Amino acid sequence: MDDTSANKNNKISQKTDSSSTDKSKAEYLVIRIPKPKNMERIAWIGVTLLLAFLAFYQPITDSIIGGADFVTASLFGADEVAGNVVSGTTEEAISAEPVVAEKSVTVEEPVVIEEPVVIEESATKALSGVINFRIIKVNSEKKSATWGKILSVDYEIDNQKDDFFPLVKVFAYDETYANDLKSIVKGEKTSVTPLVAGEIKKSNLQLTDGSFNELNLPKTVTVHLYDQTTEKLIKAVTTMVTIQ
């Protein structure tokens, strides 16, 4: 009986020892490092999954952004949203472009010297149709107490009519002259060129015979203006002078 119980106890102790040995073996963690060939496959699978995720994520992002734009346009109006988008895009484009400094080029303009335009008096007013004629001055000289001369006559012609060739004649006398002597021409001046319409001409006519003895008497000087071509009298002007 004692041997049998002893054997049982030995078996129980052996089982206990074996179970404790198995438990101690189970506590170790075994890490197996895959072979290099398997690591390449794992890396390739990881890259493929990452690319697939990115390709799938991009359409979703565009859809989300498009949906947000649609909601914003519905709330605030399509024109305002479009304006903000365009302005934002423009600002980004402007900020992205490099600023190029432009060189200012100075172009010298040619200096144009304008000559003064001479406007004749005849072009500024209409012709009156009248030829004006006047004596400006009678030039005389006293030779002695009883003798003197009329030297010349200054006159002016203002032609406000048609072109013509002026002919000027001077008559000079006093009250002692007979009527036939009063008609004697003391000086005459013809024209080579015409006096055009609107032209004003001043001239001097020298007397060929202007001597007088009675210096105490006033002298009558008459100047006639003719048309040289037709010898028609246009105007006669008379003045009184004293030789001093």
Sign of the Cα torsion 45, 46, 47, 48 reads positive
Q: What is the pLDDT of residues 211-234, one digit of tens each?
A: 998 899 999 999 999 999 999 999
Predicted confidence at residue 50, as pLDDT, reads: 84
Report long-range pairs for 91-96 (Cβ below 8 Å, ≥24 apart).
none
Both structure tokens of 71: 């909601």
Provide the pLDDT for residue 55: 74
Averaged pLDDT for residues 62-73:
52
Q: Are 138 and 153 contacting, i.e. CB atoms less than 8 angstroms apart?
A: yes
pTM: 0.49
One-letter amino acid of 213 = N
pLDDT in tens, 135-190: 999 999 999 988 999 999 999 999 999 999 999 999 999 999 999 999 999 999 99
Cα dihedral 173→179→185→187 (10° resolution): 10
Residue 41 pLDDT: 77
- What distances in angstroms separate CA 150 from CA 146, 180, 208, 220, one per listed residue? 14, 20, 9, 11
User: Which residues lie below 8 Å from residue 229, measured CB to CB, with a gap of 6+?
Assistant: 164, 165
Q: For residues 77 and 39, which has the higher predicted lDDT (pLDDT)?
A: 39
